[in-house]
């Protein structure tokens, strides 16, 4: 009888122990940097396995908006490629690709949140790219200590985007300097806290797609980010 009680307690604890586990995106080392093309079938990207996301804030399925994220790295840069299925695009009129676009999240966009500080998870950087090649980068501080550059911060990132209207897929590529992420130099095995997200369509039917369920109606829940790991 005592053994049965102990076994029941152990089984009851299993979901609790697994609850905090997070998904991991592997970023594969590239032999050299590459020009941004936003082409998933390019030599740089075609053999790279990524992650797929198709759920909302709470993990509920979002139909016809499957999103794949792939990653590569060099000693100088982190590369991300978003492959975004869509129904209708909400695009900003008169787009600019020469300067960042304030409040880019009001239109269709793919987002990466990356944090190098595992001891202070409220500090991370946000990177966005639109189907038209607009971009914005932000230095985020959720700790209330009002550090960082906020919207005035400049990461030095580059982006490239293209729309395949026949297949209803848009592609967004980011090239982010590791210097903008902070922490130790990039080596195989190094990890970052990571969240990947999308905003798609128009209100009232605007879609929010999240790699990891945040459990709240916002992407900014760093406790529920996943992991990006550099590998050979």
- Of 128, 212, 208, 133, the residue nearest 170 (C-alpha): 133
Query: pLDDT confidence of 152, banded at 50, 70, 90?
Result: confident
For residue 124, the tally of other CB atoms under 10 A from its CB is 27
Question: CB–CB of 169/83 below 8 Å?
Answer: yes
* Residues linked to residue 159 through DSSP beta bridges, in sequence order: 174
| Domain-embedded: residue 8 | no
| Domain-embedded: residue 224 | yes
* C-alpha to C-alpha distance for 186 and 154, rounded to whole angstroms: 20
Three state DSSP letters for 90-106: CCCCCCCCCCCCCCHHH
| Domain-embedded: residue 13 | no
* Structure tokens, 165: 């209207």
- Cα 148–Cα 153–Cα 155 angle in degrees, nearest 5: 115
Cβ-based neighbours of 43, under 8 Å, separated by 6 or more: none
Domain with residue 109: its CATH number is 2.60.40.1190
| Domain-embedded: residue 3 | no
82 three-state secondary structure: strand
167 three-state secondary structure: coil
* C-alpha to C-alpha distance for 90 and 198, rounded to whole angstroms: 12
| Domain-embedded: residue 47 | yes
* C-alpha to C-alpha distance for 109 and 134, rounded to whole angstroms: 9
* Structure tokens, 173: 């590529």
| Domain-embedded: residue 2 | no
Helix extents (H) in the chain: 2-19
Q: What is the CA radius of gyration of the chain?
A: 19
Query: pLDDT confidence of 148, banded at 50, 70, 90?
Result: low
pLDDT surpassing 60 at residue 224:
yes
pLDDT surpassing 70 at residue 57:
yes
**Phi-psi label, residue 128: left if phi above 0, alpha if psi -120 to 50, beta otherwise:** beta
* Structure tokens, 144: 């209330």
| Domain-embedded: residue 46 | yes
Q: Which residue has the higher pLDDT, 37 or 149?
A: 37
Quick: pLDDT tens for 206-222. 999 999 999 999 999 99
| Domain-embedded: residue 63 | yes
Range of the domain at 44: 25-231
Mean of pLDDT values over 5-20: 33
* Residues linked to residue 124 through DSSP beta bridges, in sequence order: 140
Please state the domain count of the chain: 1
* C-alpha to C-alpha distance for 52 and 67, rounded to whole angstroms: 6
Query: pLDDT confidence of 82, banded at 50, 70, 90?
Result: very high
* Structure tokens, 96: 């600019």
């Amino acid at each position: 009888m005592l053994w049965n009680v102990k076994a029941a307690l152990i089984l009851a604890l299993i979901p609790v122990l697994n609850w905090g586990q997070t998904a991991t995106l592997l970023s594969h080392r590239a032999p050299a940097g590459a020009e941004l093309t936003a082409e998933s079938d390019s030599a740089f990207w075609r053999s790279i396995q990524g992650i797929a996301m198709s759920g909302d804030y709470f993990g509920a399925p979002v139909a016809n908006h499957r999103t794949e994220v792939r990653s590569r790295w060099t000693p100088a840069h982190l590369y991300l490629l978003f492959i975004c299925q869509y129904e209708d695009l909400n695009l900003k009129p008169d787009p600019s690709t020469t300067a960042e676009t304030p409040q880019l999240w009001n239109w269709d966009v793919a987002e990466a949140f990356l944090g190098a500080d595992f001891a202070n998870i409220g500090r991370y950087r946000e990177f966005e790219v639109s189907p038209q090649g607009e971009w914005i980068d932000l230095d985020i501080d959720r700790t209330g200590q009002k550090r960082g550059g906020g919207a005035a911060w400049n990461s030095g990132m580059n982006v490239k985007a293209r729309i395949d209207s026949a297949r209803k897929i848009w592609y967004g590529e980011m090239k982010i300097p590791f210097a903008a992420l902070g922490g130790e130099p990039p080596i195989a095995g190094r990890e970052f806290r990571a969240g990947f997200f999308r905003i798609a369509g128009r209100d009232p039917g605007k879609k929010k797609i999240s790699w990891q369920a945040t459990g709240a109606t916002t992407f900014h829940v760093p406790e529920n980010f996943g992991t990006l790991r550099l590998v050979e």
